[in-house]
Structure 1
Amino acid sequence: MTRTVYVNGDYLPEDEAKVSIFDRGFLMADAVYEVTSVLGGKLIDFPGHLARLQRSLDALDIRNPLSEDDWLAIHRALVEKNAIDEGMIYLQVSRGSPGDRDFSFPDPETCAPTVVLFTQSKPGLADSPQAKTGIRVISIEDIRWGRRDIKTVQLLYPSMGKMMAKKAGCDDAWLVEDGAVTEGTSNNAWIIKGGKIITRQLSNDILHGITRASVLRCAAEAQMEVEERPFTIAEAQEADEAFITSASAFVMPVVEVDGVAVGSGKPGPVAMRLREIYLEEKRKAAI
């Protein structure tokens, strides 16, 4: 079945979709993106993703080409047209195509942003087998640019990190800067020690995860103690539990860090409970 995708106002079969070779997203990684999960045919955490999209666009001085109502209508249309029950919707906004390559930004009055959206069907997304076994991570040096809080399409090093993990026989990588974990390649990193949930505080150093924010609210409502601060790989290895959060993994237990088992080496009760609470609450609030 050919997917229906969205490109600059048109719904098209994926094999008919085209973007200019002069688009700055292609030439300069001058673009931002968001990924929203779909469960039961409804959008998870959509307002948060839309708010972060606006924040990213503002940080790069890219005009938001659509209203909130338009964004929602497009997402819902793609869910319907592609019969998505569980999966994801990827959206990307670039600065557009000025018709040639130039380091300088084009005039926003004459160069409209490029908007692309597509779906990914992921049956069983909420019932991932990995959630029952946990994932293993390695640590790598964080050599990315300093504005990781902007969700740009500059994803080469995170992709390389995932390949490093795969080569090591693991599932993902945690990035380390100045001795402390910043985040995962495509997720926020957490540990649990002595009943306290620990995750790095918000700054330019990490992506301001939408799932991260929701999990913090879930933890607070469940009267769990949370501390927002950096932690080291050694702390992670000595922790009782560890996990990651992201829009597609939700809450995913981490059972091994750099070859050392975390806690019992199996998904822990706090991470599993947070996953359960998160999915229950977000299914109720889905739109």
Structure 2
Amino acid sequence: MTRTVYVNGEYLPENEAKISIFDRGFLMADGVYEVTSVLEGKLIDFDGHAVRLQRSLDELDMQTPISKEDLLEVHRELVRVNEIDEGMIYLQITRGAPDDRDFVFPDPETTPQTIVLFTQNKPGLANSPTAKTGIKVISIEDERWGRRDIKTVQLLYPSMGKMMAKKAGKDDAWMVEDGFVTEGTSNNAYIVKGNKIITRALSNDILHGITRAAVLRFAREAQMEVEERNFTIDEAKQADEAFITSASTFVMPVVEIDGVSLGDGKVGSVTPRLREIYLEESLKKAI
């Protein structure tokens, strides 16, 4: 079935959707994005994604081309027309398409921003078999720009990192800077030691994950100890468990780092419990 997508105020068949070759998202990665998960036909943590979207726009001195209320309606309409029960909605906003290429920002009064949304249908998202077996990661140097807290469309190096992992026969990569893990290629990273959840504190060095915020809140409410600090790959290899969080994976166990199995090499007890709590609580508040 041909998907219906949203481009600059219009719902269109995906094969009819077009943007200008001069769009700054295409020419300069001058844009931001969000990915919202859909479970049981409902949006998970839409408010959190809307708040982070606004922050990203503000940090790049970009205007807001659509209200939160209208954006919610677009999300819901795309879920409806594309019959999404489990899946994702991808949103991208760029600075628009001026008359010609230029490093200088175009005047927002004469150059409307570009806004694009599309769905991805992913049946079985909540009950992923991988959540029962875990993933294997490698470590790579973090060579991204310094403002990783802004969710921009500059995704080349994370893509390269995933390809490095694939070439090594693994599932993903954790990035390392100055000896410490920053995050995964498209997710936040955690280790568990003695039932204590350890993850890097928020800063410009990592994305302020919406799933991260929810998982840590639920963990604390469940009386789990959380410590936000830097950790090394060597410390991670000695951990009892490890996991990642993102809108597309929720809470996903990591069972191997750089060829070293964690614990007995199987999924532990803390990560599945966190995943269970996250899915249960998030569905309660889904809209």
Q: Secondary structure at the match of 1:161?
A: helix
How far has the Cα of 1:98 moved from its partner?
0.6
Report what 2:164 is aligned to: 164
Hey, what's the Cα distance between the residues in 1 that align with 2:177 and 2:183?
10
Q: Identity rate of aligned residues, in percent?
A: 78
Report what 2:48 is aligned to: 48
Deviations 1:6-45 (A, max 9, x none): 0000000000000000000000000000000000000001
Across the aligned residues of Structure 1 and Structure 2, the Cα RMSD in angstroms comes to 0.4
Q: Secondary structure at the match of 2:126?
A: helix
- Matched AA of 1:42: K
Counting only pairs closer than 5 Å after superposition, residues 131-170 of structure 1 correspond to structure 2 as 131-170=131-170
How far has the Cα of 1:230 moved from its partner?
0.7
Bigger mean CA deviation after superposition, 36-45 or 261-270: 261-270
Hey, what's the Cα distance between the residues in 2 that align with 1:100 and 1:7?
21
How far has the Cα of 1:176 moved from its partner?
0.1
- Matched AA of 2:64: N
Hey, what's the Cα distance between the residues in 1 that align with 2:264 and 2:154?
36
Report what 1:128 is aligned to: 128
Report what 1:279 is aligned to: 279
Counting only pairs closer than 5 Å after superposition, residues 1-287 of structure 1 correspond to structure 2 as 1-287=1-287
Deviations 1:33-84 (A, max 9, x none): 0000000000001100000000000000111111110000000000001000
Aligned residues: 287
Q: Secondary structure at the match of 2:147?
A: coil
How far has the Cα of 1:99 moved from its partner?
1.6
Hey, what's the Cα distance between the residues in 2 that align with 1:11 and 1:229?
44
- Matched AA of 1:164: M
How far has the Cα of 1:196 moved from its partner?
0.7
Q: Secondary structure at the match of 1:127?
A: coil
Q: Secondary structure at the match of 1:125?
A: coil
Hey, what's the Cα distance between the residues in 1 that align with 2:18 and 2:127?
34
Deviations 1:246-266 (A, max 9, x none): 001000000000000011211
- Matched AA of 1:80: R
Q: TM-score, normalised by structure 1?
A: 1.00
Hey, what's the Cα distance between the residues in 1 that align with 2:37 and 2:108?
31
Q: TM-score, normalised by structure 2?
A: 1.00
- Matched AA of 1:107: D
Hey, what's the Cα distance between the residues in 2 that align with 1:115 and 1:224?
40
- Matched AA of 1:84: I
Q: Which runs of 5+ in 2 are unaligned?
A: none
How far has the Cα of 1:267 moved from its partner?
1.0
Hey, what's the Cα distance between the residues in 2 that align with 1:56 and 1:269?
35
Hey, what's the Cα distance between the residues in 1 that align with 2:61 and 2:109?
13
Q: Secondary structure at the match of 2:151?
A: coil
- Matched AA of 1:134: G
- Matched AA of 2:126: A
- Matched AA of 2:188: N
How far has the Cα of 1:194 moved from its partner?
1.1
How far has the Cα of 1:137 moved from its partner?
0.1
Hey, what's the Cα distance between the residues in 2 that align with 1:170 and 1:264?
18
How far has the Cα of 1:115 moved from its partner?
0.2
Hey, what's the Cα distance between the residues in 2 that align with 1:206 and 1:264?
30
Hey, what's the Cα distance between the residues in 2 that align with 1:147 and 1:58?
13
Hey, what's the Cα distance between the residues in 1 that align with 2:126 and 2:19?
33
